[in-house]
Chains A and B, each alone.
Chain A
Amino acid sequence: MKLYLALILLLPLSGGLFNALLGRLLPRRLGEVVACGVIWGAFACSVLAFISFNAPEQVEYASWLSDFDFKAPIALYLDQLSLSLTMMITFVCGLIHLYSVGYMKDDASPSRYFALLNIFVFAMLTLILAANLPLLYLGWEGVGFCSYALIGFWYTEEKNATAGRKAFIVTRIGDTALGIAMVWMFQLFSTTSITELNGMGFLMPTGVITALGILLLIGAAGKSAQLPLSVWLPDAMAGPTPVSAQIHAATMVTAGVYLLIRMFPLIGSSPTTLAAIAIIGAATAFYAATCACVQRDFKRILAYSTISQIGYMMLGVGAGALTASTFHLLTHAFFKALLFLGAGCVITALHHQQDIFSMGGLKKQLPAVYWPFLAGVLCLAGFPGSGGFFSKDDILGAVFDQGGTLYGTLFAVGLLTALLTAFYTFRMLFVVFHGEASTPLNHQTLTPDTRSAGRVEPIMTITLIPLALLGLFGGFLNLPKYLVSHGLLSTFVASIPGFSALEHASDATGISLQIIAATTSLLGLGLAWSRYTGRRRAESLQLEDAGLHFTRFFLNGWYLDHLYNLLFIHPFTWLSRFLWKKIDESTIDGTLNGLARITMRLGEIPAGWSNGRVATSLIALAGGTAALLGYAVWSLM
C-alpha cells in the first residue's frame, strides 16, 4: 500500500518534471507518451490500491515541517472517500491526457502543456490524499497555480492571461480564509492531522466550530466557484478545452467540496454552518443555471453548468448527505469531462468557433461526437435513468428529508434549478446539433491544409466513449434504496465518520421524489424541444441573437463582475490613483523636486561668478581681502 500510494503521487510528478526539464529536447511523441503513461500508471496503482484496500490507512513517508509542537509530516491518508476520488481523478485525467494529444497536436509548446497538466494531477492527488492540513494546502495551492498557468496557457493574448490571473486572484481570497482556518485549528487543537481534528470537534463551543466552518466554506467557495466567488470560472474558459475539462471534472473545482466533506465531522456539528453551506450551494446552483440558460458561448454554458452542479454538491453537504454529494461528484466528473471533451471536438471541427448560434445541424456531420455528447447531456439534465439523475436525486431527496422551512425552500430551489438545468442542457444540444447547419462544416470543400486544422482526431472521439458509458451507467454506483437494499457507494463509504447513510423516510417518498425529479427533467426537455427544434427554432434563435433586456442580465452573470468592479475594483483603482498622483507624484516627488530646484538656484549664484572675466576675480579678491581685514580689525577691538 505504501508503495502504491507513493507511486500514485510520484508518477504524475516525475512525468511533469520530465516534460518540464527534458520535454523540449526530446521528440514530441515521447513527451506525450510519458505524460499519458504516468497518469495511466497512477490509475493502475490506484486500482491496485483498491484491490488491496481493506481499512482506512495512514502512511507516513518522511518528516516535512517539524517545529516544537507543530508537525506536518509527508503522510498520506487513504480511506474509501479518497480512494474512490483518486480512482476517478486518475481515470478521467488519463482520458483527458489522451484527448489532449489529439487536441494539442498543432500547438507549439506541448512540453509546457503536458508538464503543467501532469503537475496539476499531482497537486490534486496530493490534496485528496493528504493526511494533514499543511500537505492538503500544498496541493490546494498547487492546483491553483497550475490552473492559473493553464488557463493563461495561450498567454500571448492579453485576454487569456487576464483570465488566468483572475482565476488565481479570486481563488486566493478563498485560500486566505482556508489558511486562517488552518492556523486557527492548530492553535485550538495543537494538531494538523485531519483525522485527529475530526475527532476533536466536541472540545470546542459551537460558536468556534461555526466560525471555522464558515472559514472553510469561504475557502471552498473560492476553489469551487461558489457565490460570491464564482466569477473566475466562466472566464477560465480561455484555456485549452481539455484544461477546462480537467478543471471542471476532476481537478480543482471539486476540491472545495472535497474539503468540506473531509472536514465534515468537525464542522458538521454546527447547524449554522450546515445551513450556510446549503444556502450557498442552492443559491449558486440557481444563479448559475439562470445564467447558463441564455449564454451563447458553448464553453460558457458548460462553465455555468459546472458552477450549478457544484452548487448541488454543496447543497448535499449542507444537508449532511455526504454520500450523495460524493456520488454526484463522481458522476459529474464523468459527464462534465465528457461534455467538455465533446465541446472540444465541436470547436475543433468548426475552427475554434464557440458561438452556438453559428452552429447547428452537426448531428449528421459529427455523429461520433453527437452520441456520446447526448449521453452527457442526458446526465447533466438528470434524464431518468442516467447517472446524473440518480446522484442529483439523492441530493434533492436528502434535502427534502431534512424538512423544515429552510430546507423545504432549498428543495424547491433545487427542483427549479433542475428544471432550468434540463432546459439549458437540451437547448445547447438542440441548438448545436439539431436543425439546419448555419455554417457548413464542408470538410470536402476545404483545402487540404485547412482540413487538417478542422479535423477531429480519432483519439478525441474515442475517449468520449468510456466517459459516456460511465456517465450513463454511473447510477449503478449507488442505486436508490427501493431498487437495491444497499447502494455500492453507500456501502463502500458507510464506515467513514459522517457518511452514515441517511434513512429515507420511506420508499414511497423516495419513489415519488424520483418521479417529481423525472417529470422536472422531462419538462425542461419539452420546453427546450418546443423552442429550439422544428418551426420555432429559427424564430427563437433570431430573438435570442438580438438579445433582450432581461437576457442581457443573465448573459452577464447577473452583472456580478460589474458589481465587483463597482464595489472593489473602482474604489481600489481610485485609491491607487490617488496615492499615485496625489501622494506619490505631487507630495513626495513634488517635495523632492522642489528641494532640487532650490539647490539648483542656489548653485547658480556662485556659478555666475566663474564667468572667466578678470574683473570678477579682482572684485572677489578685493572683497575677500576687505572681509579678512574687517575680521582682523573686529577681532582686535
Chain B
Amino acid sequence: MIVPLEQILILAGLLFFIGMGGLLAWRANLIMMLVCIEIMLNAVMLVFVAGSAQWGDPDGQLFAIFIMALTSAEVSLALAMVVYLHRRRKTVNTDLFSEMRG
C-alpha cells in the first residue's frame, strides 16, 4: 500500500474529531449538524476501507458501501424531519428544542 495505515488512521481520526467538534459547536443549525455527522461517518468509512486494503479482505469495502447506502437513507429521512421541524417551529436551532426534558 502506498499510504501507510497509520497516516490514514490519523487522517480518519482528524476527520472524526473535526466532525465531532463541528457537531458540538454548530448547534445553531440542524443542517450543519447533519453535515458534521456525515463527516464523522466518512471518517469511519475511511478506516474500514483502509483496513480492507491493508489486510486484503473485501469485508471492509462491503461495509463502506453498506454505510453509504445507509447514510443516504438516513440523510433523506433527517432532511425531511428538518423541513418538518422548520415548518413547525420556524427555526433549526437545536438549543430551542427541549421537549425531551425528563
Q: Which residues of A contact B (CB under 8 A)?
A: 610-615, 618-619, 622
Contacts and interface: CB of A to CB of B under 8 A. Distances in A.
Contacts of B94: 613-615
B87 interface: no
B27 to A, nearest CB: 5
A622 B100 CA distance: 19
Contact of A612 (B24, B27, B99): B99
B6 interface: no
Given A612-B97, A613-B98, 20 more contacts: A610-B101, A611-B98, A611-B101, A612-B98, A612-B101, A612-B102, A613-B97, A613-B100, A614-B27, A614-B94, A614-B95, A614-B100, A615-B24, A615-B94, A615-B95, A618-B23, A618-B24, A619-B24, A622-B20, A622-B24
Contacts of B97: 612-614
Most B CB within 10 A of own CB, among A610, A613, A618: A613
Interface in B55-102: 94-95, 97-102
Interface in B10-38: 20, 23-24, 27
A614 B34 CA distance: 13
Nearest to A617: B100
A613 B27 CA distance: 10
Nearest to B94: A614
Contacts of A610: 101-102
Nearest to A610: B102
Chain A's interface: helix, strand, loop or mixed, by majority?
A: helix
Most B CB within 10 A of own CB, among A611, A614, A615, A619: A614
B64 to A, nearest CB: 22
A-B residue pairs, 8 tightest by C-beta: A612-B101, A612-B98, A610-B102, A612-B100, A614-B94, A613-B98, A615-B27, A611-B101
A613 B95 contact: yes
B1 to A, nearest CB: 25
Most A CB within 10 A of own CB, among B95, B97, B99, B100: B100
Nearest to B98: A612
Contacts of B24: 615, 618-619, 622
Contacts of B98: 611-613
A27 B100 CA distance: 74
A619 B95 CA distance: 13
Contacts of A622: 20, 24
A610 B99 CA distance: 11
21 contacts: A610-B101, A611-B98, A611-B101, A612-B97, A612-B98, A612-B100, A612-B101, A613-B94, A613-B95, A613-B100, A613-B101, A614-B27, A614-B95, A614-B97, A614-B100, A615-B24, A615-B27, A618-B23, A618-B27, A619-B24, A622-B20
Nearest to A625: B20
Nearest to B96: A613
B73 to A, nearest CB: 21
B69 to A, nearest CB: 25
Interface of B: 20, 23-24, 27, 94-95, 97-102
Contacts, number: 31
A444 to B, nearest CB: 86
Nearest to A615: B27
A241 B102 CA distance: 71
Contacts of A611: 98, 101
A618 B94 CA distance: 11
A620 to B, nearest CB: 11
A619 B94 CA distance: 13
A618 B23 CA distance: 8
A629 to B, nearest CB: 10
Contacts of B27: 614-615, 618
B38 to A, nearest CB: 16
A625 to B, nearest CB: 8
Contacts of A614: 27, 94-95, 97, 100
A619 B24 CA distance: 7
A559 B94 CA distance: 82
Contacts of A618: 23-24, 27
A612 B97 CA distance: 8
A627 to B, nearest CB: 14
Contacts of A615: 24, 27, 94-95
A617 to B, nearest CB: 8
A626 to B, nearest CB: 9
A610 B98 CA distance: 10
B40 to A, nearest CB: 11
A614 B95 CA distance: 7
A614 B96 CA distance: 9
Contacts of B102: 610, 612
A622 B25 CA distance: 12
A70 to B, nearest CB: 69
A612 B100 CA distance: 4
A619 B20 CA distance: 10
B36 to A, nearest CB: 10
A288 to B, nearest CB: 77
A603 to B, nearest CB: 13
Contacts of A613: 94-95, 97-98, 100-101
Contacts of B101: 610-613
Contacts of B95: 613-615
A606 to B, nearest CB: 10
Nearest to A613: B98
A21 to B, nearest CB: 62
A613 B93 CA distance: 11
A359 to B, nearest CB: 80
B57 to A, nearest CB: 24
A611 B102 CA distance: 7
B82 to A, nearest CB: 13
Nearest to B20: A622
A376 B101 CA distance: 89
A88 B54 CA distance: 121
A615 B94 CA distance: 7
A129 to B, nearest CB: 78
A560 B94 CA distance: 82
A619 B98 CA distance: 15
Contacts of A619: 24
Contacts of A612: 97-102
A619 B25 CA distance: 10
A16 B95 CA distance: 82
A613 B97 CA distance: 6
Nearest to A618: B24
A239 B98 CA distance: 73
B33 to A, nearest CB: 8
